[in-house]
Structure 1
Amino acid sequence: MKKWGFLLSGGFLVAIIVGILLINQRPNQARQQANRVHDSAPTFYLHGYGGSGRSSDSMIAAAEERGRATKVLTAIVSRTGQVELEGHWTGNTTRPIIQVIYKNNRNANYRQNGEWFKRVLIAVNRQHHFKQFNVVAHSMGNLTLAFYLANNAQNKKMPQLTKFVSIAGHYAGIIGMDDRANQNHLAKNGRPQQINATYRQLMGLRHRLPKNQIQYLNIYGDLSDGSDSDGRVSNVSSQSLRYLVAPRAKSYQEVQFKGSNAQHSKLYENEAVNKAVIDFLW
């Protein structure tokens, strides 16, 4: 009897140990699966007004060098909105990058640009299916994505945005056009006191965005010259993104860069900015 009791107790102990190992293994497996999904999600780079491939070349090169990412495709959007894909995306590529280039790079019709970005997503998804994606945008590229979201944020048939890096976004105006340095101010809740037509059209994002899905990194520059701007976009205009997205965001953070290298067009060539983007995405 003692022998059988010993065997039974021993077997019971083994069962407990196996159970503990299985319980611990499940979270590890879940984390590994989440990492695989995260690393397979493509990141789209959107340039600003008058921009081209050169606008994001240095950022993409930094991501490839430091973030172990790989540029797989260039999506070229014609002046009529047709999408042509150049490059090749293999199935096992980790952290794929897609550079988006608009041939009509001075089209200030943000809503149309947003619809054409939808065509980019559809074209890429036909070639290589993906469920999640990230975006890094500079200047007008931010409005391209914002208007895409305004019309498609609740469209479950489309891939879902999970991370968005906004660089020098002019959500509430551009200095010299519909804004002036130190003219606008933010209320305590982040709402700009002066709202232009573009910002008014985006107000619906506060209710349309998916809850607890998208993580935001808002990067903006300050020349430290008293203008509280990067020379083209006021800090208030860039920071006004918070009021639009924070209520439904998974996370939201802002990073300000100062000095001459924080000038509007220099932000995407700034090494410190590149590091912040890479750390946030990957």
Structure 2
Amino acid sequence: MKKHTGLFVILSACLAVGLVITLLSLMQPKYPKAQSTHIPTVFIHGYNGNERTFGGMINRFQSQFDWASNTQTLRVDTDGTVNAVGTFDKDSLNPLINVTFASNKENLKTQAGYIKNIMTYLAEENHIKKVNFVTHSMGGSALTVFIALNHQNAELPQLNKLVYLGVPLAANDYTNKVKSQEKATAKMSQLMAENLPKSTALLIVAGYTSQAVGGDGSVSLESALLAEEIFKKSPIQTQIIKGEAGLHSLLHENSTVDCRIGQFLWSVPQTKLKN
């Protein structure tokens, strides 16, 4: 009798555990699926940024939403040498690569050189032909300078889609040779029109916390939206994040931004997300 009682208790416990697991599974939010493109996406932080700048977003894309795979971190030393942590897997779901700069307060031209080294590494070591970029703040500014300076280098990966989060694009960020803001913007627009492949699409995300602030607290709305002029010959989408969520440092920690990037890069159906 005791033997049967013990068996009943064990079976009841197993059933209870199974029921709890099932209920927890049903309670987990279901996220829409991403299309697998196999085109890697490279993340570039801004001034004084680090691996944590995009760490949360990358983790959400992989572990929470199951839209992509975190495959590699590339660290650029002060001399420009690129060192890899992890092994790039071209067959993974929408592979992600996080880039960090050891010297993270350099001028735009130096950072553009770092990005060129990254692109060279992607081509020679990872054998990548086409790439997406997600950038924040001055990381996007440096990428813009890189594009302007390296348009004739056919050995580097082709630019597929670009995401700019709170990227300052005021003309005086790029040159001091042209004193007129209007003329400098026109010059950069000409360079991008000549150098950026017409198939390269852009998503511009700008923050606007309040009328008094006029932007995200670090970058003015006007400066961020200059992208519409600079990249006017390319397919471009714009998203303005308003209120406290539009703070410069929160643009990469935002469910609306996650959703827009998912739609833009991997054709994720439109949905509301909870971080």
> How would you bin the TM-score normalised by the shorter chain?
0.7 to 0.9
Q: CA deviation at 1:143?
A: 1.0
1:271 pairs with one of 231, 255, 274: 255
Counterpart of 2:14 in structure 1 is: none
- Deviation per residue, 1:110-143 (Å, 9 max, x gap): 1121121111111132222121100000001101
1:221/1:257 contact within 8 Å kept = yes
Q: CA deviation at 1:67?
A: 4.9
**Which runs of 5 or more structure 2 residues have no equivalent in the other structure?**
1-34, 173-179, 267-275
Q: TM-score, normalised by structure 1?
A: 0.74
1:73/1:97 contact within 8 Å kept = yes
Counterpart of 1:202 in structure 2 is: 188
Matched, 1:72 2:71: yes
Counterpart of 2:88 in structure 1 is: 89
2:148/2:192 contact within 8 Å kept = no
Counterpart mapping for 1:100-119 below 5 A:
100-107=99-106, 109-119=107-117
The more displaced of 55-64 and 151-160 is 151-160
Query: Structure 2 vs 1, CA of residues 105 and 254 (structure 1 numbering), >3 Å: closer, same or farther?
Result: same
Counterpart of 1:47 in structure 2 is: 45
1:205/1:245 contact within 8 Å kept = no
CA-based RMSD: 2.2
Matched, 1:99 2:98: yes
Q: CA deviation at 1:268?
A: 0.8
Q: TM-score, normalised by structure 2?
A: 0.76
Counterpart of 2:29 in structure 1 is: none
Q: CA deviation at 1:226?
A: 2.5
- Deviation per residue, 1:15-40 (Å, 9 max, x gap): xxxxxxxxxxxxxxxxxxxx77xx12
Q: CA deviation at 1:78?
A: 0.7
Counterpart of 2:236 in structure 1 is: 252
Aligned length: 225
SS in 2 for 1:170: coil
2:123/2:155 contact within 8 Å kept = no
Structure 1 or 2: larger helix share? 1
Counterpart of 2:161 in structure 1 is: 163
Q: Which amino acid aligns with 1:257?
A: I
1:172/1:196 contact within 8 Å kept = no
Instruction: Tell me, in whole angstroms, the C-alpha distance in 1 between the residues paired with 2:189 and 2:77.
Output: 29
Instruction: Tell me, in whole angstroms, the C-alpha distance in 2 between the residues paired with 1:280 and 1:117.
Output: 22
Matched, 1:280 2:254: no
2:42/2:96 contact within 8 Å kept = yes
2:171/2:188 contact within 8 Å kept = no
Query: Structure 2 vs 1, CA of residues 164 and 91 (structure 1 numbering), >3 Å: closer, same or farther?
Result: closer
Instruction: Tell me, in whole angstroms, the C-alpha distance in 2 between the residues paired with 1:262 and 1:146.
Output: 22
1:224/1:259 contact within 8 Å kept = yes
2:207/2:251 contact within 8 Å kept = yes
SS in 1 for 2:56: helix
SS in 2 for 1:166: strand
1:67/1:278 contact within 8 Å kept = no
Q: CA deviation at 1:90?
A: 2.6
2:160/2:200 contact within 8 Å kept = yes
